[in-house]
Chain A
Amino acid sequence: MRIQDSIANIKAIFKRELFSYFGSPVAYVFIIIFLLLLGFFTFNIGMFFESNQADFRGFFDWHPWVYIFLIPAVAMRLWAEDRRLGTIELLLTFPITVADAILGKFLAAWCFLGICLMLTFPLVFTVMYLGNPDLGVAFCAYVGSFLLAGAFLSVGIMTSSATRSQVISFILSVVLCLFLILSGYPPVLDSLYGWAPAWLVNLVSQLSFLTHFQSITRGVLDARDILYYASVMVFFLFVTGVIIQNRRTS
C-alpha cells in the first residue's frame, strides 16, 4: 500500500516537474545550447570527420565536459525555486515522504536530459550513412552517457537543496562535479603515482566519473560500472534527503 502510494506521488511530481520544464523557455534554450556545444566540440575541436573513423569516440568523449556546465544549470532550480516561491511548504506538508518528492524531481530532470540526449541521434544516422560503425558500442555509450548525466544531476540536486541561491548551487555543483571528473584524469593520477600507496591511487581513480564513463564508451557495459553510477546517485539523493529534513525551517 505504501509503495503504491509512493509510486503515485512520484508520478504526480514527475509529471508536474517535466511539464514545468517544457512550459518554460529554459528547456528549449537548454536543448539548443546542448546540441550546439556538443556539435562544436565534436566537429570543430574533436575533428570528428577528419579522424576518418566510423566510431563515436570523438563524440562521447566530450559529454562530461558539456555536462559539467549544463547539468548544474538544470538542477539548480529543482529545490531552490520551491524555496523561493514558498511552494516547498506546500510540498512538504502534502501527505508524501521527502523521498517521494526528491525522486519525482530527480526522475523528471533525468528524463529531460534523456530527451536531450536522444536529440543527438541524427549524428548516429550520419555515421551509419558514412561508414559502418559498431552500433553495440554506440548503444553502450548512450547508456553510459545517460548514467553519467544522472550522476551529475544527483550532485546538482543535492547542492540545490542546500542553498536558496541558484547561483551558489550552480557554482558548488560545478566544483564538485569537476572534482569527481578530475580524480580520474591522468595528470591527477600521475601526480599520485610514485608516492601514494597503490590502493589510494586505485580508490581515487575508482571514484572518478571519467574512468567508469570511458570504459562504458569503449563498449564494455560492466555491471560494476552501472553499480558505481547507481550508488553515486543513491548516495547524493540520500544526502539531499538529509539536507531537506534538516533545512525545513528556512
Chain B
Amino acid sequence: MIEVKNITKDFGKMKAVDNVSFSVEKGEILGFLGPNGAGKSTTMRMITGFIPPTAGTAVIGGYDITEDSISARKKMGYLPENAPVYPDMTVHGYLDFCAQIRGYGPADRKRKIHETIERCFLTRVEYQNISTLSKGYRQRVCFAQSILHDPEYLIFDEPTDGLDPNQKHEVRLMIREMSEKKAILLSTHILDEVESVCTRAVIIANGCIVADDTPDNLKTRSSVHGAVCIAVATADEQALISVLRELDCVKQAEVLEKDEKQIHVRIYPKELKIPIADRIMIALREKDFKIESLFVEQGRLDEVFRKITL
C-alpha cells in the first residue's frame, strides 16, 4: 500500500503541497488530477524520495520514505515528468544500466531486458541511440525503465504524454493489466484516461485535495448528470418544448442545436432517482414526434473538474 500522510512542501513562502493525505491499495489505480501547477509532480517527487517533504511522509509497502528511503525505493517504479533518459546510450544499454542498479545478475538481466523491450514495443529501436529517438519512443523507454523490475508500487507522472493514440491505448491496457497485483498512482491531464483506467481519482488544486472519489461518483456532480438528450426529426420547435415542459417529471428542457433534419434537446429531470426517458418517449409519440436518438447523460468529468478546481 502507498500511504501518503499529511505531506507538505514549501518552496520559500509558497506552499506547493499542503497537508495532502491519501492511500492507494493494491489492485487500485489512482488518478491524480489537478490544473497546471497544482502540485502533482511535487507530491510524486516526495513520494519517490526525490525531494524531502517539509512535513509529513509517505509509507510505501511498510517502509517510510523519509526513514528507510532505500528499502522504500526498491519497491517502487517511477516514471518522472518529461521522461528523463540518457541520450548518449542505446535503448538496450540504458535498460541494462537500470537492471544493474536494480541488482540483477547478468543472466537475469538479459531476460528482463528482453521481456521489457517486447512489452513496451521497443524491439525495433533496441540498439538505436536514445538521442535519435522521437519523443514518444523516449517516453516509452522511460516507461520501460519503471516497470523493468516488476515493482509492487508504481508512480507514473503523465505516462501517456506524447504518445500516439495507438500507444496511449496500449499503455492504458498495460497499466490495467498490471494493476491486479500492484498499487498504481498516475497523474494525467487526459480525463478520458481517468475514466478508462482509474478506479479512483484524487483532484488537487493549489496544493490541497479538493475531491477524492471514483470517476463515476465524480461524474454525478456534473450539472448534466441524469439529463436525457434526444434528437427529434424536424418539427414545430415550440410545440416540442411545451410538450416536454408539461411533463411533471421534467425540470427543464433546452434546445441544444437545430439543423435541417433534426432538433437536439436536452431534458433535465426533477429528481435524479426517477428515470424519465420512458415517460418522454411515450409523451412524444402521442404527439407524433419522431425520436431519432436518445441517451441518458452520465455527466462530464471535464465539467466537474472545472467546477471543482476553479
Contacts and interface: CB of A to CB of B under 8 A. Distances in A.
Interface residues of B, number: 30
Interface of A: 5, 8-9, 11-13, 15-16, 19-20, 23-24, 85-90, 92-97, 248-249
Contact of A12 (B70, B74, B101): B101
A92 B49 contact: yes
B51 A90 contact: no
Interface in B105-141: none
B74 A16 contact: no
Contact of A92 (B50, B87, B89): B50
A93 B78 contact: yes
A95 B99 CA distance: 12
B62 interface: no
A19 B93 contact: yes
B11 A249 contact: yes
Nearest to B84: A86
A39 to B, nearest CB: 30
A236 B243 CA distance: 84
Contacts of A85: 84-87
A101 to B, nearest CB: 10
Which of A20, A93, A96 has its CB near the most chain B CB atoms (within 10 A)? A93
Contact of B101 (A9, A24, A89, A248): A9
Contacts of A86: 80, 82, 84
Contact of A87 (B71, B73, B74, B84): B84
A95 B102 contact: yes
B57 interface: no
A87 B138 CA distance: 13
Contacts of B145: 90
Nearest to A94: B101
B97 interface: yes
B37 interface: no
Given A86-B84, A89-B80, A95-B103, 20 more contacts: A8-B103, A11-B100, A12-B97, A16-B97, A85-B86, A87-B85, A89-B84, A92-B49, A93-B48, A93-B49, A93-B80, A94-B73, A94-B98, A94-B101, A95-B70, A95-B73, A96-B101, A97-B70, A248-B50, A249-B51
A201 B200 CA distance: 69
5 contacts: A9-B101, A85-B84, A86-B84, A89-B50, A93-B48
Interface in B196-223: none
B85 A93 contact: no
Given A9-B101, A12-B97, A19-B93, A87 B50 contact: no
Contacts of B71: 95
A40 B209 CA distance: 66
B45 interface: yes
B52 interface: yes
Given A12-B97, A249-B51, A89 B88 contact: no
Nearest to A5: B103
Interface in B39-81: 45, 48-52, 70-71, 73-74, 76, 78, 80
A23 B82 CA distance: 24
Contacts of A90: 78, 80, 84, 142, 145
Contacts of B74: 95
B89 A20 contact: yes
Nearest to A97: B70
A12 B89 CA distance: 14
A144 B291 CA distance: 92
What 6 pairs between A and B have smallest CB-CB spacing?
A: A86-B84, A12-B100, A95-B74, A95-B73, A93-B48, A89-B80
B73 A93 contact: yes
A80 B141 CA distance: 23
A19 B85 CA distance: 15
A93 B84 contact: no
Contact of B86 (A5, A12, A20, A249): A20
A90 B101 CA distance: 11
Contacts of A12: 97, 100-101
Nearest to B76: A93
Contacts of A248: 50-52
B186 to A, nearest CB: 16
Contacts of B76: 93
A44 B70 CA distance: 54
A13 B76 CA distance: 20
A95 B77 CA distance: 10
A13 B98 CA distance: 10
Which of A8, A12, A19, A97 has its CB near the most chain B CB atoms (within 10 A)? A12
Contacts of A19: 89, 93
